[in-house]
Structure 1
């Protein structure tokens, strides 16, 4: 996922995650680390620690700068970072691990954790949380629970990245709207679109693609009181009355002329930047991109509550510990130092455009100075995360396909969602057989 995609949030936690879990991974052991004192420093022989991630956007630049700074300050620890597009990353990881060429630490999205846990690519880290005294009270509850699979913890949360509402202030002014008062609910949102249309502006371009029209649809299904799956993720429910109402509301906006009928991939966002589109629901990862466009007058706000409750699409990056054929205790100690150091530079990481998962970091006055990111931190309690079920990402893609068909007018919303659910239920059944759960 991304052009996208951080924290005092690991806190001391991640260091212990690396220490405890890496030590538990292997069949062999190269012996005790030369030194190790809880991750504060490491004086053993030079050690190389491999870390994989998918930070290909602006957040990746920040991550690399932090790694370079760490390596400069630590002559005896070398962190090597391999960065792939997320889709390539997830395809490559299982084979690399089985061949003994996997990383020591892997960054992973919340909705992928169950899949890789079921495939035994990553290790449980319950001992980490226990040793550090970490609990749900230290994190946003939804983010903390997202690292669980079959009652075991496989991820230590780094952040949460939601969608938010970006708006073009110049177009608001052209339509006689107050750019300091973006819409917050359905009536205000619809009135805003009416005013924009009156000024000759198609104010809300709706993309038929997952990025990011599908994410808007996902958010609204939950806002209207629905969900994509039942409680135990054994059945798809994104053809419920609530889901049909949500998608129908969006398609009616197109029919009413508030959006072009066939918006290209990313055209909705580019139109916002070129003063053609007034409102774009997009990911928090666009904050830093917009900051690079000084000629664009823009603002960002939480997604308006269109339905009966607040809800937004969101995901979360977690640190996971990869299975190893052998254990190197010096790597364990070095990993502790790196991750503890990273936690001390969490505000730099959050500046990459992520909402820290850890409560204490979000309460830090310096984080609150990151105005735009802090604005979307208000959405954290409303994050609608996917369930922890193996293969759930592939199933959710069927919702995005159905959404695409409805938005492009290939099928009526109900028919598109019914057809998608039929395929999703079959895939859920196949996944239970495949993963044994």
Structure 2
């Protein structure tokens, strides 16, 4: 959603605020009461609820009310409620959305508050720290990174002799070797889907993004919040699309209706998606390994996002309440080990390097790519740009446009978007 579209939301969607009045500022026993909005679903929600409960039980001065909002209209409701001074005290935001919220003046700068409670932004992964800093100020605290990875059915891979002694896939780290790995799986399991991934949508976008940056692609936009230039490398963008396209039809069936169900039912050798699948497959008792994509080209790069916590602005607040909000945010970021149960990578290297995390199954197999995630550019146009890119990639993978035509169409759409 662009800055213009967010402004439109402010004017046209205030009806969503019905029933969103602020709760009391204190509880019946005198604790500061804070409303915390989240957009999580599935297993993620349960892990976050546990963290909030642990925080509430850890002290007797602050009580955090976790409030689940529907994902589909989460940001619309967040923007309209904050603009009307009825927003939450703390809220989850994807890192890619934070620049839009900052541009609308809806977030509190966190530098001074962080220093006050002892939260050090240098304690986060460097690429995450950079992603949080917008025009010289921090407006969000990252609680994780969630990269795009591979899930492989370990029983099927073992039958095809494609696992090493440690149970990890044997993949030659070249473009050709990566394709051959899945071709070898198809030879042994011709009745199985080799790679479960849709022909269109976000997972194709994620795969292309990672491939583009591994090939040495430049940022999509220049570093400017509201007036960026398009800096995408068109030639590399085409090459990345050509490589992803080469898997469709021969290795990837066209138009898989439900990749998740295909993998969970044991009918797929692999699935490409985000790390949120780890907790799902664990609970399903599915035999699998979870691994990052190998470095196939010149640069080590991965695709991923980050859940962050922000403090929306409020006209009337106190230093005591602001400090309480920041202390809770610090608590969540420090409890990355518990949040990692959902599959996410903690935002702090210290937690990832701990023996407790390294002993967790699956997570430690892909956590090493956290420093190499290429986060979206800090511009208010990231959300509509993602739509533009995905739409063009959909046309390419479906065979309606050649890679050259699709990328040219993508760049034309980006030009219109930032105009």
Contact 2:91 2:309 (8 Å CA) reproduced: yes
Q: For 1:281-318, what per-residue CA distance to the aligned partner results, in whole angstroms no more than 9, with x for missing partners?
A: 21111100000121x22101111222222211111122
Mapped to 2, the partners of 1:319 and 1:361 lie a distance apart of 18
TM normalised by structure 2 equals 0.84
Give yes or no for the alignment of 1:89 onto 2:69.
Answer: no
Give the 3 Å change call, closer, same or farther, for CA 360–175 of structure 1 in structure 2. Answer: closer
CA apart distance, 1:63 = 0.9
Q: Which residue of 2 aligns with 1:155?
A: 140
Give yes or no for the alignment of 1:259 onto 2:252.
Answer: yes
Give the 3 Å change call, closer, same or farther, for CA 243–185 of structure 1 in structure 2. Answer: same
Paired residue secondary structure (1:103):
coil
Which fold has the larger relative contact order, with Cα–Cα distance below 8 Å and residues 6 or more apart in sequence?
A: 1
Give the 3 Å change call, closer, same or farther, for CA 227–208 of structure 1 in structure 2. Answer: farther
CA RMSD of aligned residues (A): 2.6
5+ residue gaps, structure 1, are 1-32, 35-41, 430-437
Q: Which residue of 2 aligns with 1:415?
A: 405
Q: For 1:195-236, what per-residue CA distance to the aligned partner results, in whole angstroms no more than 9, with x for missing partners?
A: 123231441234233342221111111112214514336344
Contact 1:46 1:75 (8 Å CA) reproduced: yes
Paired residue secondary structure (2:325):
helix
Give yes or no for the alignment of 1:226 onto 2:188.
Answer: no
Mapped to 1, the partners of 2:269 and 2:66 lie a distance apart of 38
Give the 3 Å change call, closer, same or farther, for CA 322–194 of structure 1 in structure 2. Answer: same
TM normalised by structure 1 equals 0.81
Mapped to 2, the partners of 1:198 and 1:210 lie a distance apart of 28
Q: 1:370 aligns with which of 338, 360, 372?
A: 360
Q: Which residue of 2 aligns with 1:198?
A: 187
Contact 2:309 2:329 (8 Å CA) reproduced: no
Q: Which residue of 2 aligns with 1:305?
A: 295
Mapped to 1, the partners of 2:297 and 2:330 lie a distance apart of 42
Give the 3 Å change call, closer, same or farther, for CA 137–60 of structure 1 in structure 2. Answer: same
Paired residue secondary structure (1:299):
strand
5+ residue gaps, structure 2, are 1-24
Contact 1:48 1:77 (8 Å CA) reproduced: yes
Q: 1:278 aligns with which of 266, 269, 279?
A: 269
Give yes or no for the alignment of 1:189 onto 2:174.
Answer: no
CA apart distance, 1:171 = 2.2
Contact 1:206 1:254 (8 Å CA) reproduced: no
Give yes or no for the alignment of 1:379 onto 2:369.
Answer: yes
Q: 2:43 aligns with which of 58, 76, 83?
A: 58
